[in-house]
A = this chain, B = another copy of it.
Amino acid sequence: MSRTAGRPRRAGISRAVLDAAVELVARDGYRATSLDDIARASGVAKTTVYRRWESKGALVAAALLDRLGDLPGVTGESDLRATVAWLAGAASRPDVHALLLGVLAETTDSELRSELRAQVRAPFVAALAQGWGVDAESAATAFDLVVGTLLFRSAGSEPVERRLVTDLTDLVVGYLVDQRRGT
The digit string for A24-41, where 1 denotes a CB below 8 A from any CB of B, is: 000011111000000000
How many residues of A are counted as interface, with CB atoms below 8 angstroms from the partner's CB atoms?
A: 40
A42 within 8 A of B: no
Q: Which residues of B contact A144 (CB under 8 A)?
A: 149, 152-153, 156, 164
Bound together, the chains give a CA A106 to CA B30 distance in angstroms of 8
Name 25 A/B residue pairs within 8 A (Cβ), A-sorted.
A29-B108, A31-B105, A31-B107, A31-B108, A32-B108, A101-B107, A104-B105, A104-B152, A105-B105, A105-B106, A113-B156, A114-B157, A137-B163, A138-B167, A141-B164, A141-B168, A144-B152, A144-B156, A144-B164, A148-B149, A148-B152, A148-B153, A149-B149, A171-B171, A171-B175
What residues of chain A have their CB less than 8 Å away from a CB belonging to chain B? Answer: 28-32, 101-102, 104-108, 110, 113-114, 116-117, 121, 137-138, 141, 144-145, 147-153, 155-158, 163-164, 167-168, 171, 175
